[in-house]
């Protein structure tokens, strides 16, 4: 096959590929040149860890520690309008049976345009207590 045939065979597809590659390159290059249009910031806050359990579950639980440090990343305008109540920090205890003391993973839910980058601690110690000892499920009595 001659060199001319290599160039002209499927020439339309080859030309379209080059055009698409140039458009992709231009899009990426323009975003790299203007980082201030997509600037993001991080925000770190200590938030209380809430207990999620079934409504009929009357058992009391104490979490240690009762707070988690949550670091989030988003565009500055999003962080300016974000209320910390929009970030849900909890442990799911709906599957707990009769264990008295155990560890559970801290779950953080944030709005779709906010990324959770760090949760410290990742797990909390959970201790089952009588309901009278636990007037507020997410606070440590100490």
- Structural domain spans, the chain: 3-35, 39-129
Q: What is the pLDDT of residue 74?
A: 87
Give the integer Cα–Cα distance in Å for 138 and 48: 7
Give the integer Cα–Cα distance in Å for 68 and 9: 62
- CA-based torsion, 46, 52, 56, 58: positive or negative: negative
Higher pLDDT, 31 or 139: 31
pTM above 0.85, yes or no: no
Q: How many other CB atoms sit within 10 Å of the CB of residue 99?
A: 9
CATH domain 39-129 topology: RNA Polymerase Alpha Subunit; Chain A, domain 2 (2.170.120)
Q: What is the pLDDT of residue 15?
A: 93
Mean of per-residue pLDDT scores for the chain: 82
Dump pLDDT digits (tens) for 72-117: 888 888 888 888 888 899 998 888 777 788 888 999 999 888 889 8
Q: How many other CB atoms sit within 10 Å of the CB of residue 66?
A: 18
The token pair that represents 88 in the structure block:
């849900």
């Amino acid at each position: 096959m001659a060199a001319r045939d290599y160039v002209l065979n499927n020439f339309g597809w080859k030309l379209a590929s080059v055009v698409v590659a140039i458009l992709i390159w231009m899009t990426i290059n323009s975003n790299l040149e203007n980082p201030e249009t997509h600037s993001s910031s991080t925000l770190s806050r200590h938030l209380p860890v809430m207990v999620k359990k079934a409504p009929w579950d009357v058992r009391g639980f104490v979490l240690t520690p009762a707070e988690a440090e949550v670091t989030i990343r988003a565009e500055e305008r999003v962080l300016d309008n974000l209320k910390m109540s929009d970030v849900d920090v909890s442990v799911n205890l709906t599957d707990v049976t009769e264990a008295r003391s155990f560890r559970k993973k801290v779950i953080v839910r944030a709005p779709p345009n906010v990324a959770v980058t760090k949760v410290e601690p990742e797990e909390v110690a959970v201790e089952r207590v009588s309901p009278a000892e636990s007037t507020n499920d997410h606070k440590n009595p100490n």
